[in-house]
Amino acid sequence: MEFDTIAAISTPMGEGAIAIVRLSGDDAIRIADRLFKGVRGKKLANAASHTINYGHILDPKTEQVAEEVMVAVMKGPKTFTKEDVVEINCHGGLVSVNRVLQLVLNEGARLAEPGEFTKRAFLNGRIDLSQAEAVMDLIRAKTDRAMNMALGQMEGRLSKLIRKLRQEILETLAHVEVNIDYPEYDDVEEMTHHMLFEKAGYVRNEIEKLLQTSQQGKILREGLSTVIVGRPNVGKSSLLNSLVHENKAIVTDIPGTTRDVIEEYVNVRGVPLRLLDTAGIRETEDIVERIGVERSRQVLREADLILLVLNYSDELTSEDENIFKAVEGMDVIVIVNKTDLPQKIDMDRVRELANDYKMVTTSLLEDQGIDELEEAIASLFFSGSIEAGDMTYVSNTRHIALLNQALHSIEEAISGAEAGTPIDIVQIDLTRAWELLGEIIGDSMHESLIDQLFSQFCLGK
């Protein structure tokens, strides 16, 4: 498969020590050579593969030095894209890296689309689709656990399991074909049904095991949308600051200080939280605060976890009780804050309202109770089972949907066989399950869907 030569800046934009312009394609080395002036006239075409070469980038029109560079030359197929790859390391300033990129484009390279380097790695057979998606998961990982999960998927842990399951289905389909071609042999039919139940049952069990990891995997990949709620001045912003370990939110004794939703990512015992501090929920005549309260109610409806904060030194109010009603049926941890002050809250009533919710008492002013809160968050969603390093986790929403569909098709095949459905009808469900599993690794997927997936990648990857 032949492609044109693409180029892009592969490091974040902004000031830094270095920036990298990456090229990939048959003309990558030739294009770089037309711009590169090495020591004693050294040519990149003559450089050994996987070496880095010092020199300068010259503007061909003026013959003036545009940048001092180190150029890495990597010849295919032993590269990420399996094509010739050149990485021009220049100074990490906006002007310098864009100047180098523009010269590369002027010499015939095309600006890469988002994710196009990884897409080429997939199309050239270097990685499968699930491994390609793991590349972006690795970049976006917010915790060590999320990173390790992405690394496992990049190494092909999920791919190997999916390929094994597809092979099991393929062997079953082959026996079904024998049954269809030679229906006069009764023992063949009996053997086929026996194998179908055995193989399909095995595949069903393996898919179910994967789906059991999906909640934890999805949390590690995307983070828990965690909303801090409570009426004004109970300590919501102080809680955000304590978890983030930084003063991100303004803290005052004045109710209604927080007017909008404040968002931060935080790592709590390996669980990534997308932490949202909301405006205190109460009735108010202030139009700006009222907008903030409405936004608070909106994010509340979309949250995975609610941290409901109460004030130990205030009596329970109708606003507190209304918040309990608003979060009914959700995953909630009740935090009774300001235990350093005299008690006025009715703790028996709090326990009655909290029902089965986890409850933690804190004094954020004195840094008390944060460890207990972090432990409660981690145990609520993982209960310690996430530590199994050899497990294959499924975290991608697309993968989870396809696994559920494949599971349904397998169950339909088993039910059909048990009900005495003709074997050629059962074969349709088995084939559908095989195709759905193939979509996870990209073996059976429409080109437009592949384009859509890679368009979500960052530029230069």
Residues 57 and 81 in one domain: yes
CA distances in angstroms from 368 to 249, 335, 361, 363, 429, listed in the order given: 19, 12, 8, 5, 57
Round to whole Å and give the CA distance between 271 and 376.
Answer: 11
Residues 349 and 250 in one domain: yes
Residues 166 and 147 in one domain: yes
Instruction: Name the pTM for this structure.
Output: 0.67
CA distances in angstroms from 218 to 85, 127, 228, 294, listed in the order given: 34, 22, 21, 28
**Residue 367 covered by a domain:** yes
**Residue 260 covered by a domain:** yes
Residues 194 and 230 in one domain: no
Round to whole Å and give the CA distance between 12 and 458.
Answer: 10
- Cis bond upstream, residue 77 (ω within 30): yes
Tokens coding 449: 């869907």
**CATH number of the domain within which 56 lies:** 3.30.1360.120
DSSP lists the bridge partners of residue 22 as 8, 87
**CATH number of the domain within which 241 lies:** 3.40.50.300
Name all contacts of 436-440 with Cβ < 8 Å and 24+ positions apart: 436/402, 436/403, 436/405, 436/406, 436/409, 437/162, 437/165, 437/166, 437/169, 437/402, 437/403, 437/406, 438/166, 439/402, 440/129, 440/130, 440/158, 440/162, 440/398, 440/399, 440/402, 440/403
Round to whole Å and give the CA distance between 170 and 163.
Answer: 10
pLDDT of residue 416: 86
pLDDT of residue 379: 82
Residues 196 and 310 in one domain: no
**Residue 120 covered by a domain:** no
Q: Is 311 exposed, middle or buried (0-12, 13-18, 19+ CB in 10 A)?
A: buried
Nearest residue to 284 (alpha-carbon basis) of 261, 252, 259? 259
Give the DSSP letter string of 251-313.
Answer: --SSTT---S-EEEEEEETTEEEEEEE----S--S-HHHHHHHHHHHHHHHT-SEEEEEEETT
Strand residue runs (E) in 30-84: 36-38, 51-58, 65-74
Task: Tell me how many degrees the CA angle 350-227-274 measures, rounded to the nearest 5.
Answer: 145
- Helix 129-140 to helix 447-454 angle (10° resolution) is 10
Residues 319 and 354 in one domain: yes
Mean pLDDT by 10 residues, the chain (461 residues): 86 88 96 93 93 94 92 95 96 91 95 91 89 82 74 85 91 75 57 77 91 77 80 81 60 39 72 70 48 61 84 89 85 91 91 89 87 85 51 77 94 87 84 92 72 68 66
Residues 232 and 376 in one domain: yes
Task: Tell me how many degrees the CA angle 230-236-238 measures, rounded to the nearest 5.
Answer: 160
Of 112, 145, 173, the last residue of a domain is 112
Round to whole Å and give the CA distance between 211 and 436.
Answer: 15
**Residue 125 covered by a domain:** no
| Furthest-apart CA atoms within the chain: distance in Å | 87
* Count of other CB atoms within 10 angstroms of residue 303: 21
**Domain around 87:** 6-112
Q: Is 92 exposed, middle or buried (0-12, 13-18, 19+ CB in 10 A)?
A: middle
Of 386, 404, 436, the last residue of a domain is 386
Residues 402 and 368 in one domain: no
Residues 94 and 168 in one domain: no
pLDDT of residue 303: 78
pLDDT of residue 288: 47
Residues 416 and 360 in one domain: no
Of 353, 386, 419, the last residue of a domain is 386
**Residue 22 covered by a domain:** yes
Round to whole Å and give the CA distance between 404 and 255.
Answer: 47
pLDDT of residue 156: 84
**Residue 430 covered by a domain:** yes
Question: What total number of domains does the chain contain?
Answer: 3
**Residue 219 covered by a domain:** no
Residues 354 and 235 in one domain: yes
For 109, residues 6+ apart whose C-beta sits below 8 A from its C-beta are 5, 6, 7, 23, 25, 27, 28, 31
Displacement of CA 422 from its chain's centroid (Å)? 42
Q: Are strands 332-337 and 305-311 parallel, antiparallel or unpaired?
A: parallel
**Residue 238 covered by a domain:** yes
pLDDT of residue 71: 96
Residues 362 and 291 in one domain: yes
